[in-house]
Structure 1
Amino acid sequence: MFLKRIEILGFKSFADKTIIDFSDGITALLGPNGCGKSNIVDAVKWVLGEQSVRNMRAERMDDVIFSGTEHRKALSAAEVTLVIANETGVLELERPEIAIKRRIFREGENEYILNGNSVRLKEIRELFFDTGIGKSAYSIMEQGRIDQILSTRPEERRYLFEEAAGITKFLARSNEAERKLTRTEENMNQVENILREVRRSHEVLKKQTEKTMAYRRLREEIFTLDRNLKLQQWQKLEDTRDERTRQLENKAKQYTEIARRIQEIKNTLASKLDTVNTMESRLIENQKQLYGLDLEKENLQRQIRQIRDNRNESEEILKTFGAREKNAAASLKELAEQKARREVDLVNFQDRIKEIEASIISCAGTIKSSESRIQQISTDTESSNAALIKEEKLREGLQDDLRTLTDDIVRELEKHLSDSDRSTRRKLKDRINSGINELRIRLKGRLSLFGDRRNLAGGGKSREILEQTAVYFDELSAEIEALAGFIEEYWASGADFLEEFLTPEGIITRKRELDDKISTSKEKTASLKERILALGEEKSSLSQQIQKFRESMEEFRVAQARTTTQAAAVRDALASLARETETEEKHLDEIRQQIVAENHKIKNFIQQVDLLIQKQDEFTKQQEKLRGDMVGLESGISRENKKMAGREEELQSLSSKRGALELEKEKIRMELGYLSEEEKQLLEDFRDRHSRELADFADIKGSITRAARDIREELAKVKGELKALGQVNLMAPEEFVEVAERYEFLNGQLTDLQKGKNDLVQVTEEIRRESVAKFIQTYQDIRHNFHLVFRRLFGGGKAEIRLQNSEDPLNSGVEILAQPPGKKLENISLLSGGERSLCGVALLFATFMVKPSPFCILDEIDAALDEANIQRFIGILTEFGQKSQFVVITHNKKTAAGAGSLLGVTMQESGVSRLITLKLDEKEQNSNDEKPLKAN
C-alpha cells in the first residue's frame, strides 16, 4: 500500500484543481518559503480527519477555503482527495484503490466521502487504525511535531508505541467497551430500580386481583338472584294489571247505558230549558241593564261629586295663584329697583375707573417728563464737571505763574538790598526770606491738600470739590495781598526798585494781572458751584416728585383693580338680578296662565254637572220600565221550572249512578297507572343497578318456581359477603396482566444486561491482555532499534527508552534518555536543537523498523541538522525508502539529491500555488559503508 496521488481544489493557496502523483520510494518536495509546500501536508492531515484549527494554521475551519487574491475571486468550497493503492490489502476494504475525500463549504458544512459514498469521520479513522496513518500517527512528521514528541510529557509519547504495536484499534474498542459497560451498569441500575417498583406493584395487584375475582363472582350471584326476584315481581304486576283491565271494561259498558238514558232525559229537558233559558236570558239582560243603570247613576253621582270637588279645589288654587301673582309682582318690582341701583353703582364705578386711568396717564406723563428733565440735568452736570476740570487746569497754570513771580520778587529784593546798609539789608533779607519761605510752605501745603482732594473727588462729589477749591482761592488771594503789603513797607527803599515793581512791565503789574485772572476763575468756579448745586437740588426734587407720582400711580392701580373688581361684582349682581327677573317674569306668566286655565276648568265643571244631572233623570225612567218587564219574566220562569222538576229528579238519580261508575272507573285507571309506574320503576331500578335490561330475560319469567322469600334471604346473605370484601380495585386484573408482562420483560432485560456486562468485562480483559502483550513486545523492539539507530546517526553514544510504570504499561509514561558521544546520559530535553532533531529521527526510524507506515511525510525535519548528520540521515532515509514511501519537504540540496522524484511548488501568480514534477531516472547513491539496519 502506498500514497498514489492527491487531488486538491480550492484548499488554501491551491485555487485550481491540482493533481499530485506520487511514486514509490522517496519523493522530495521543494520550493521557496511561502509557496505553499506545507499546505500539501495540511491537506493530507485535513483529509485524514484533522479537527484542530490551530494545527491547520487557521482561525476558523472555513479559512482553509481559497480566500481569493487581487485577480481571483474567493471560492465557496474546498476539497481534497487522497488516493491510496491497496493491492496488498492492508486496509480492510476489498478494493485495489481507495479514494478518501473531504469537502467543506463556506457555510461550515463538512462532507467525508469514501469511494464515492458519504461516510462519517469515525469510519475514516477506523479504516486507518494500526496502519501508522492518521492525523495523530507517525506517518506525518513535521519539525514542530518532532519537538513536541520530545518535549511533551512522558504519558503523551505513548501513542507512538501504541500505533506501532497495532493496539490503537484494540484500545479504541476497549474504550468503547468500557463506555458500553458503564452504560450497561447504569441501565442495570435503572432496570433494578424500576423492577423493585414493579415487583411491589405486582404483589399488591395480585392480592387485589384475587379480591376482585371474588367480588365479580358475588356480583354475578347477586345479579342472578335479583333478576329472578324482579322477574317474579314483574309477572305478578302483569297479572294484576290484566285483572283490573277486565274490571274497567265491565264498568265502561254500564256507564255507556246510563249515559244513553241520561241523554234522552236531557234532550227532553233541553227544549224546556231553552224556553226557560230564553226567559232567564231576557230576565238576566234586564237585570244587567237595571244594574248597569244603577252603576251609571252611581257613576254620574260620583262624577258630579268629583266635579264639584274639582271646582272647589280649582277655586282654592285660584286663590293661591292670586296671592302668588301678587307676591311675584312685588318681587319683580323689588328686583327692578335693585337692578336700577346696581346700574347706577356700575356707572359710578365706570366713571371712577376712567378718572383713575386719566390720573395714571397724567402721572405717567409727568414721570416721563421728569425723567427727561433728570436726563438733561445729568447732561448739564457732566458739562459743568468738564468746565470744572478746565478751570482746574487754568488754576494749575496760574500756580506755575505765581511760583515764577515769587522767584522774581525774591531775586529783585535780594538785588535791591545788596546796596543798602549791611544791618538793614540783613534784617530786610531775613524778613523777606522768612515771609517768602512761610508763603512757600503754606502754598506747598495748600497745593498738596488740593491735589489730594482732587484725586479723592469723584463724579458724585463735584459739589465738595468746588467748595474746597473756592476756599483755597480765597486763602491764596489773602496770601498774595499779604505779600503785596510786605513789599509796600519797603517802598522807600529806592526809586529804581519801585519803578521796577510799579511800572506796566514790572512785577506788581504782573501780580495784579494774576489777581484779575484768579478773581475771574473764582467767579467762574462759584458760578459753576451754584449751577451744580441748583441742578442737584432740582434733580433731587424731581426724583422725589417721581417717587411720589409712582406711589400715587401704585395707589391708583390698586384703586383701579379694586374698582374694577367692584364693577365686575356689580355686573355679576346685575346679571344675577337679570336672571332672577327673567325667572320671576316667567313664573308670573305661568301663574297667570294657570289662573286662566283654572277659570276655564271651573266653567267646564259647571257645564259637566248640568249634563250629568240630565242623564241621571233619563236613567231613572229606564229603570222603572225594566222592573215592570222583569216581573212578567219571573212568573213565566216559575211555571216552566215546575214542569221540569220531575224529569230533573230522574236525571239526578241516573247522574248519581253514572258518577259512582265514573269514580270506580277512575279508581281502576289510577290503579292501572300505579301498576304501570311500578312496572316502569322496577325496570328502571334493574337497569340502574345492573346496567342491563330486565326485558332481555322476559322469556324465563314463567320458569322461576323458587319462592320469593327464599330468593330474598339468599340475596341478603350474598350482599353481606360482598360488603365484607370492602373496597375493591375493579381494574386490578387488567392492571395485573400489564404489570406481570412488564415484570417478566424487565426480568428478561436485567438478565440480558447482566449477560452483556459479563461479556463486556471478558472482552475488555481479553483486549487488555492482548494489548499489554503487543505493547510490551513493541516497546522492547523499538527500545532495541532506537539504540541501534541512535548509534548510527550519532556515530556512537547510547540511548534508552524506559517505562515509568512497568506494572501498568498501557498507562505508563515513556522516558527517553540519550548520551551522545563524549557526553553523559541525560534526558533528551537537555540536548541541543540538532541533537534533539537527530534523536527524533532515530525514534521515527526505530518505530518504522518495528512497523513501517505505508507512506510517510517528513516536513523539514532535516532543517536543524548539520552537513555530517545530513549524510547519515540520507543514508538511513534511502535504506527505509526501499520498504516505505517517503515524501520529504526540504530546503536541503543533499536531501533532495537523495530522492527518486522531485516535486516543485511555485507561486508565479501571487497567492496561488502551482506544481512542477520532475522524474529522476538515474541518480547517484550516497556511498555508505555501514551495514543496513536490521529490525528485531
Structure 2
Amino acid sequence: MFLHRIKLAGFKSFVDPSTIVLPGNLVGIVGPNGCGKSNVADAVRWVMGEISAKHLRGGSMADVVFNGSTARKPVGLAQVEITIDNTEGRVGGQYAAFNEIAIRRQVSRDGQSTYFLNGRRCRRRDVTDVFLGTGLGPRSYAIIEQGMVSRLVEAKPDDLREFLEEAAGVSKYKERRRETENRIAHTRENLERLQDIRDELGKRIAHLKRQATVAEKYKQLKHEERLSRAQLATLHWRTLSGELTKQDRQLGERETALEARVTELRDLESRLDQQRAGHAEAQEAFNGEYRAALDAEAAIARSEENIRNLVKQAERVRKTLDSEEEVRKEADRHLGSEKEKIETLEKDLAEGEPELERLKAEAVEAAAEHAKAESDMHESSSSWEAIGLRVVEATQAVRAGEGRIEQLTERLADADKRHARLEQERQKLGTGKLEREIIALAKAIREHDAIRAKLKSQLARHQLAVRDLGRHIEELSSALGGAREQFQDVRGRLSSLTALQQDALGKGEGAVTDWLQAHDLTESPRLAEKLEVAEGWERAVEHVLGDRLRAICVDGLDTPLAGLAGLGEGTVTFFDTAALNPDAPKVAGPEPEQWQEIHPEPLITDIVVVEPIKPRGVRRKKEKRWVRILRRIFRFRRRTGSQKAKRELPPVLALPAPVAPPEPAPTMPPLNPNPLHEKVSAPWPLDSLFAGVRVADSLEEALDLRPALKLGQSAITPEGEWIAANWLRAHRGAGAGAGVLSREREIKTLSETISQLQTEIEGWEYAMAAAHGRRKAAEQEQAKSEKGSIDAEQYHAKLQSAIAQRRARFEEFRRRALAIAHELADLEEQRVQARTGIGEESKNLAEQQAIRDRVIRERDAEAERRKEYQGRLAASRKRWQEIRDKAHQAELRMASLRTRHGALTQSRVRDSEQRKRLDTRCQELRQSLEEITPPLQQAKSELAEHRLRRQELESKLKAAREQVEKQEAAVRESDQRRHAVSDRIESDRTLLEKTRLTRQETHVRREGIEEQITASGHAVDTLLAELPEEANEADWTARIVVLEQQVARLGPINLAALQEHAEQSQQKEHMDSQYQDLTDALDTLETAMRDMDRETRNRFADTFEKVNVQLGTLFPRLFGGGHAQLELVGDDTLNAGVTIMARPPGKRNSTIAQLSGGEKALTAVALVFALFELNPAPFCLLDEVDAPLDDANVYRFRDMLEEMSDRVQFLVITHNKNTMEILQQLVGVTMSEPGVSRLVSVDMDRAQDFSEAAAGAT
C-alpha cells in the first residue's frame, strides 16, 4: 500500500489542476522558499480529514481556496484527490477488494466540505475510518510538517500517547470506545428517566386495576340489565305479535268482503259502460239510418229530374229531325224558284231575328232562376242534415250533463261523511300532556347540560393542567440538561484557555518552572493577569509589552536575586511592585464620578435583554428563595475571538453586564495625543512600561502625528502599527504575548459564567421538584373530575332515554294529526270542487237544454223552408224547360232560314251539296235520338231502385229509434244499482280503515320494541328461544329493579379504566422489556469494553516496550551514541500519558526542553522511525525535517531514510542537497507567476543514467 498520485486544483497556490505522480518510495519535493511546497503536505493532511484551519496554516476553512493574485481572480472551489495503491489489501472492510482507492475532498467559499470515496459521496468519518489502524491520518506520525518535529517531542503526554496508540493499532478502538462511553452515558440517563416513568406507570396501573375491576363488575351488571330489558321487551313484543296476528286475520276478512263489493261494483260499472256504449252505438245507427233516408230522397229527386231532361231532349231531337226533313223536301220543291224563295226568306229572317234574341234572353233568365232554385234546394238539404246532427248532439250533451251532476252530488255526500269521521278522530288525539312532559324533561336536560359542560370544562382544565405540567417538566428537564451541558462546555473551554494561558505566561513545565517552584514563586501573579485594557487596544498593549506580559509580580527583588544563580537556562522577568510609589496617581483614566463630564451620555458595553419567566405553580408567598436564585441568572452568549456563539439557555431573568469605564475621549491637541498607559488599568502605575508611547486611532492619524514626535516618543494604533520619528514597526503574526490579554479577559468571563450557571442549575432543579408536586396534585383533581363527569353522563343518558320515548309518542301523534289535517284539507278541496262542479254542470245543462230546444225549432223551420224550395224548384224547372224549347225552335227555324237563304244565294252548282248537308244533318239527328234512349231507360230503372231503398230505410229508421229508447232505459237501471253498491263499499271501507289503523298502531309499537331490542345488540328470535315458557313481564320487571339497585351500589365508575389499564399494562410490559434489553445490552457492552480495555492495555504495553527498544536502537545511530527512552505518566496503562527522555552523548539532560533545536529534531526523527519500525505506515511525508540538522546529522538521517525506503514510501520536502542525493524522483515546485504554484518533475535515476551516458560519449 503506497501513495500513487496526488491531484490538486484550486487548493491554496495550486490554482491550476496539477498532478504529482509518485512511482517510487523516495520522492522529493523541492523549490525555493514561498513557492508552495508545504501546500502539498497541507493538501495530503486536508484530504485525509483535517478540520482545523490552524493546522492548515489558515484562519478558516475557506482559506484553502485560492484567493486570487495580481493576475488571477479568486476561484470558488478547492479540490484535492489522492490515489492509494491497495494491492496488498491493508485497507480492510468494504474497500479490501479494490486495488486502488481514490479519496477526494472539495470545499467551496462557504466552508462546506464534501468527501468522495472511489467517486461516491461519503462522510468525513468514512474517510477517517479507512485510515484507522494503518498509521495514517490527519494528525498521525506519518505526516511531519514544519515545526512539528519539536512539537512532537515537546507534546503533552496525552498527545504523545496518541502516536503510540496509532502505532499499536488501537486508535480505532479508542475512538469507538469513546463513542460507546458517550452512548452508554446517554443511555443510562435515559434509563433513569425510563425508570421514573416505569414507577409512575406502575402506580397508575395499580390505581387503574382497582377501577377496572369495578368497571368490569359494572359492565357485567349492565350487560345483565340490558339483557333483562331486552327480554322484557321481547315478552312485550310477543304479546303485541299475538294481537297483531288477530288483527291481521280480522283485517283479511274485511278486506275480502270489501274486495267482493268492489268486484261487484266493477262488474256493474263495466256493464254500465257496455250499456252506455250500446246506447251510443244505437244512437249512431239511428243517425246513420236517418242520413241514409235523406240521401235516398235526394237520389230520387235527382233521378226524376234526369228522366225529365232526357225525355225533353229526345223530343227536341225528334222535332228537329222532322223539321230538317221538311226543309229538305221544301228545298227540293222550291229549287227551281230560288229567287222568289230568297226574298221570302230574307223577309222571314228579318222578322225572326228579334224574336230569337228575345227567346234566348228569356231562356238565360229561366236557366239562372232554375240554377238558383237548385242551389237553394241543395243548401236546404245540407242545412237539414246539419240540423239533424245538431239535434242529436244537443240531446246527448243534455243527458251527459245530467249524469255528471248526479255523480258530483254523490261525491259531495261521500266527502261530507268522511270529513265528519276525521274531525271526530282528530278531536280524540290529545298531545298536551306529552308536550308538558317533553318541555319539563328538556328543561332538566338543559340544566344538566350546563352541569355536564361545567364538569367537562373542569376535567379539560385538569387534563390540560396535567399535560401542561408534563410539558413544563420536559422543558425544565431539557433546560436543566442544556444548562448542565453548557456548564461542561464552559468548564472545558475554561480549562483549555487556562492551560494555554499558563503556557503563554510561562507557567508550564521546564527549567524556569522548576526554579519558580523551588523558590515558592509559582503562584505569584503575572503582569498580564493584573492588567485591564480598554476594549480594542489589547493588540497594541501586547505589541508594546511583549515578553514583559509574562513578568512575575513580586514585592521586592530580594528573593529572586537570591536564587538567580540556581537558574540553569531560560528567561524569567520580574515586576517589582514595591519599588513603585504607592501614592502615585493611578493611570486608569478618570474616576467614575468624572465620566459624565467627559462623556455626556453613559457608555454601556453590553446589556442582554431577555424575557423573564416565572415558574408556574410557585405561589407568591413562597417565591422569596426562588426569586433570589433567578435574579442571579442571566442568559449567556459569548462573542469573544473566533468562537461561535454558544447555544442559548432557556429564557431567565437577565441582569445587565457590568458597565465598563468609558474610554478617554480622543479630543486632544494634534501634537499631544493621549499616552497608551491611559488605555490600561492596573494596581500600580505603569508609566515606565509605556514611556513615550501615544495612541492613534488609525495609521493615517499616526502618520499625521509623526512630524510632532520627539526623540523617545512614538505612536501606536489598535492594530499594533507602531511608528516613531525615525522607525516603523508593524506586526501581523503571532508573537510573544499574542492574545494573552484577550484570553485573560475571556477566562475571567468564563469563570463568572460558571458561577452563574451553577446558580441557574440550582434554580432549574428547584423548579423541577415544584413542578412534580404540582403535577401530582393536578392528577388527583383530574381523577375527581373524571368521576363526576361519568356520573353526570349516566344521569344524562337516563334523561335522554325518557325524552326520546315521549318524543317518539308525540311524533307518532303529531304525524297522525298531520295526516288527518292533510286528509281534511283534501276532503275540503274535494267538497269545494264538487259544489263548484255541480254549479257549473247545472249551468252547462241549462245551456245545453236551451241549445237543444233552439236546434229543434231550427229543424222545424228548416222543414218548412225545404217544402217551399221544392215547390219553387219544380216551377222554375218547368218554366226554364218551356222557354228553352221555344228558343231552341226559334233558333232552329232561323238557322233553317239562313241555310235556305244561303243555299238560294249560291249558285245552282251548290244546290246538290246543300242537299247532301241536309242529309247528313238528318242522319246526325237520328243518331242523337238513338243515343238518348239508353240513358233514359237507365234513369228510369235507378228511380225505381231509389224508391224501393227509401221504403227500406224508413223501416230501419223506425227500428233504430226503438233501440235507442230501449238502451236509455237499461242505462238508467244499471246506474241506480251502481250507486247502491258504491254506498255499501264506502261503509265497508270505513270499517276496514279503522281496523287497519288499529293494526298499524300495534305494528308500530311492536317495531319500536324490536328496534330497541336490535339497538341493544340482541335478536328477537334468539331471545324468544332463550326465554322459558313460564316467563312473564312482571317477573322480568322485578329482576331489572334488582339489577339497577346493584349497579347503584357500585358507586362512580370509570369505564375508560379497562382500556387504559390494558394500554398502560401493555406499555409497561413494553417498557420493562426495553429496560431489560437495554440493561442486558449495557452489561454486554461493558463486558466487551472491559475485554477491549484489557486487550488495549496488553497491545499498548507491548507496543510501548517495542517502541522503547526501537528508540533505544535508533537514537544512538542518529546521534552517534547517547540514550533515549519513553516513560509512562500515571499508573493506569489504559490512560497514562507518555513522555520521552533523551540524553545525547556527553550530556546529562533530563528533559526534552533542555535539548537544542537540532537535537530535538533528531530525537523526533528517531521516535518517528521507531514507530515506523513497529507499525510502518504506507507512506511518510516529511516537511523540511532536516532543516535544523548539520551535515553529519543529515548524512545519518538520509542513511536511515534510504534503509527504511524498502518498507515505507517517503515523500520528502527539503532544501538540503545531501538529502536530495538519495531521492529517486524530484518534483519541483515553482512560482514563476506570482501567487501561482506549478510543478516540474525530474526522475533522478533516469537523469543519472543520461548523465553517465553523456559522460561516456564524451
Q: Return the TM-score normalized by structure 1.
A: 0.50
Matching residue within 1215, 1231, 1243 for 1:891: 1215
1:904 aligns with 2:907: no
The aligned counterpart of 2:188 is: 185
1:865 aligns with 2:868: no
**Paired-residue identity, %:** 35
What is the alpha-carbon distance in structure 2 between the residues aligned to residue 800 and residue 768 of structure 1? 25
What is the alpha-carbon distance in structure 1 between the residues aligned to residue 45 and residue 1237 of structure 2? 18
The aligned counterpart of 1:740 is: 1065
What is the alpha-carbon distance in structure 2 between the residues aligned to residue 239 and residue 688 of structure 1? 19
Q: Residues 768-789 of structure 1, C-alpha deviation per residue, up to 9 Å, x if partnerless?
A: 1111111111111111222222
Q: Residues 278-304 of structure 1, C-alpha deviation per residue, up to 9 Å, x if partnerless?
A: xxxxxxxxxxxxxxxxxxxxxxxxxxx
Q: Residues 245-299 of structure 1, C-alpha deviation per residue, up to 9 Å, x if partnerless?
A: 999x9xxxxxx99x99xx9xxxxxxxxxxxxxxxxxxxxxxxxxxxxxxxxxxxx
Whether the 8 Å CA contact 1:223–1:690 is kept in 2: the answer is no
Q: Residues 8-32 of structure 1, C-alpha deviation per residue, up to 9 Å, x if partnerless?
A: 1111111111110113321111100
Whether the 8 Å CA contact 1:178–1:760 is kept in 2: the answer is no
Structure-2 change in CA distance of 1:879 and 1:236 (3 Å)? closer
Q: What is the Cα-based RMSD across aligned positions, in Å? A: 3.9
Q: Residues 535-576 of structure 1, C-alpha deviation per residue, up to 9 Å, x if partnerless?
A: xxxxxxxxxxxxxxxxxxxxxxxxxxxxxxxxxxxxxxxxxx
Q: What amino acid does structure 1 have at the position aligned with 2:231?
A: N
Q: Residues 364-386 of structure 1, C-alpha deviation per residue, up to 9 Å, x if partnerless?
A: xxxxxxxxxxxxxxxxxxxxxxx
Whether the 8 Å CA contact 1:2–1:24 is kept in 2: the answer is no
* CA apart distance, 1:219: 1.8
What is the alpha-carbon distance in structure 2 between the residues aligned to residue 833 and residue 699 of structure 1? 107
The aligned counterpart of 1:172 is: 175
* CA apart distance, 1:123: 0.9
Whether the 8 Å CA contact 2:1010–2:1020 is kept in 1: the answer is no
Whether the 8 Å CA contact 1:37–1:905 is kept in 2: the answer is yes
Whether the 8 Å CA contact 1:237–1:675 is kept in 2: the answer is no
Structure-2 change in CA distance of 1:684 and 1:833 (3 Å)? same
What is the alpha-carbon distance in structure 2 between the residues aligned to residue 779 and residue 825 of structure 1? 22
Q: What amino acid does structure 2 have at the position aligned with 1:190?
A: R
The aligned counterpart of 1:721 is: 1046
Q: What amino acid does structure 2 have at the position aligned with 1:722?
A: V
What is the alpha-carbon distance in structure 2 between the residues aligned to residue 879 and residue 186 of structure 1? 55
What is the alpha-carbon distance in structure 1 between the residues aligned to residue 1179 and residue 127 of structure 2? 17
Alignment: residue pair count: 515
The aligned counterpart of 1:763 is: 1088
What is the alpha-carbon distance in structure 2 between the residues aligned to residue 71 and residue 708 of structure 1? 111
* CA apart distance, 1:690: 9.3
Find the residue that maps to 1:810 and give its secondary structure.
coil
* CA apart distance, 1:703: 8.1
Structure-2 change in CA distance of 1:241 and 1:98 (3 Å)? closer
Q: Residues 899-918 of structure 1, C-alpha deviation per residue, up to 9 Å, x if partnerless?
A: 12111100111211111111
Structure-2 change in CA distance of 1:880 and 1:32 (3 Å)? same
Find the residue that maps to 2:4 and give its secondary structure.
strand
Whether the 8 Å CA contact 1:9–1:16 is kept in 2: the answer is yes
* CA apart distance, 1:41: 0.6
Structure-2 change in CA distance of 1:799 and 1:224 (3 Å)? closer
The aligned counterpart of 1:82 is: 82
What is the alpha-carbon distance in structure 2 between the residues aligned to residue 903 and residue 238 of structure 1? 113
What is the alpha-carbon distance in structure 2 between the residues aligned to residue 774 and residue 694 of structure 1? 79
What is the alpha-carbon distance in structure 1 between the residues aligned to residue 1009 and residue 25 of structure 2? 104
* CA apart distance, 1:179: 2.5
Structure-2 change in CA distance of 1:868 and 1:694 (3 Å)? closer
Equivalences for residues 441-520 of structure 1 within 5 A: none
The aligned counterpart of 1:56 is: 56
Q: What amino acid does structure 2 have at the position aligned with 1:712?
A: T
* CA apart distance, 1:672: 13
1:120 aligns with 2:123: yes
Matching residue within 123, 135, 144 for 1:132: 135
The aligned counterpart of 2:154 is: 151
Q: What amino acid does structure 1 have at the position aligned with 2:8?
A: I
* CA apart distance, 1:218: 1.9
Whether the 8 Å CA contact 1:686–1:693 is kept in 2: the answer is no
* CA apart distance, 1:215: 2.3
Find the residue that maps to 1:4 and give its secondary structure.
strand
Matching residue within 210, 217, 221 for 1:218: 221
What is the alpha-carbon distance in structure 1 between the residues aligned to residue 1128 and residue 36 of structure 2? 40
Q: Which structure is larger by alpha-carbon Rg, 1 or 2?
A: 1
Structure-2 change in CA distance of 1:919 and 1:150 (3 Å)? same
Find the residue that maps to 2:200 and give its secondary structure.
helix
Whether the 8 Å CA contact 1:131–1:853 is kept in 2: the answer is yes
Q: Residues 72-99 of structure 1, C-alpha deviation per residue, up to 9 Å, x if partnerless?
A: 3322211111011111111112111111
Whether the 8 Å CA contact 1:191–1:750 is kept in 2: the answer is yes
* CA apart distance, 1:713: 2.4
Q: What amino acid does structure 1 have at the position aligned with 2:21?
A: D
Q: What amino acid does structure 2 have at the position aligned with 1:783?
A: N
Q: Residues 502-545 of structure 1, C-alpha deviation per residue, up to 9 Å, x if partnerless?
A: xxxxxxxxxxxxxxxxxxxxxxxxxxxxxxxxxxxxxxxxxxxx
Find the residue that maps to 1:127 and give its secondary structure.
helix
Matching residue within 746, 753, 778 for 2:1103: 778
Structure-2 change in CA distance of 1:73 and 1:235 (3 Å)? same
Whether the 8 Å CA contact 1:171–1:767 is kept in 2: the answer is no
What is the alpha-carbon distance in structure 1 between the residues aligned to residue 1065 and residue 43 of structure 2? 60
Q: Return the TM-score normalized by structure 2.
A: 0.38
What is the alpha-carbon distance in structure 1 between the residues aligned to residue 28 and residue 1247 of structure 2? 13
What is the alpha-carbon distance in structure 1 between the residues aligned to residue 229 and residue 153 of structure 2? 98
Equivalences for residues 332-351 of structure 1 within 5 A: none
Structure-2 change in CA distance of 1:698 and 1:815 (3 Å)? closer
Whether the 8 Å CA contact 2:134–2:1177 is kept in 1: the answer is yes
1:829 aligns with 2:829: no
1:819 aligns with 2:1143: yes
Q: Residues 822-872 of structure 1, C-alpha deviation per residue, up to 9 Å, x if partnerless?
A: 221310012111211121111111211211111001001111111221122
What is the alpha-carbon distance in structure 2 between the residues aligned to residue 693 and residue 882 of structure 1? 92
What is the alpha-carbon distance in structure 1 between the residues aligned to residue 233 and residue 1246 of structure 2? 120
The aligned counterpart of 1:526 is: none
Structure-2 change in CA distance of 1:131 and 1:243 (3 Å)? closer
Which is richer in helix? Answer: 1
The aligned counterpart of 2:1170 is: 846
Structure-2 change in CA distance of 1:686 and 1:734 (3 Å)? farther
Matching residue within 191, 195, 199 for 1:196: 199
Equivalences for residues 531-930 of structure 1 within 5 A: 691-692=1015-1016, 700=1024, 705-805=1030-1130, 807-921=1131-1245
The aligned counterpart of 1:491 is: none
Whether the 8 Å CA contact 1:900–1:923 is kept in 2: the answer is no
Q: Residues 635-664 of structure 1, C-alpha deviation per residue, up to 9 Å, x if partnerless?
A: xxxxxxxxxxxxxxxxxxxxxxxxxxxxxx
* CA apart distance, 1:700: 4.4
The aligned counterpart of 2:603 is: none
What is the alpha-carbon distance in structure 1 between the residues aligned to residue 1052 and residue 1003 of structure 2? 33
Q: Residues 661-706 of structure 1, C-alpha deviation per residue, up to 9 Å, x if partnerless?
A: xxxxxxxx99999999999899879978995499967994998642
What is the alpha-carbon distance in structure 2 between the residues aligned to residue 761 and residue 834 of structure 1? 47
The aligned counterpart of 1:9 is: 9
* CA apart distance, 1:198: 3.3
* CA apart distance, 1:63: 2.1
Whether the 8 Å CA contact 2:1013–2:1019 is kept in 1: the answer is no
Whether the 8 Å CA contact 1:29–1:902 is kept in 2: the answer is yes
What is the alpha-carbon distance in structure 2 between the residues aligned to residue 154 and residue 798 of structure 1? 20
Q: What amino acid does structure 2 have at the position aligned with 1:867?
A: D
What is the alpha-carbon distance in structure 2 between the residues aligned to residue 923 and residue 829 of structure 1? 43
Structure-2 change in CA distance of 1:674 and 1:65 (3 Å)? same
Q: What amino acid does structure 1 have at the position aligned with 2:9?
A: L
1:65 aligns with 2:65: yes
Structure-2 change in CA distance of 1:234 and 1:874 (3 Å)? closer
* CA apart distance, 1:170: 1.4
What is the alpha-carbon distance in structure 2 between the residues aligned to residue 801 and residue 756 of structure 1? 38
1:44 aligns with 2:44: yes
Equivalences for residues 152-551 of structure 1 within 5 A: 152-233=155-236
Q: What amino acid does structure 2 have at the position aligned with 1:71?
A: A
What is the alpha-carbon distance in structure 2 between the residues aligned to residue 695 and residue 818 of structure 1? 102
Whether the 8 Å CA contact 2:1111–2:1170 is kept in 1: the answer is yes
Find the residue that maps to 1:706 and give its secondary structure.
coil
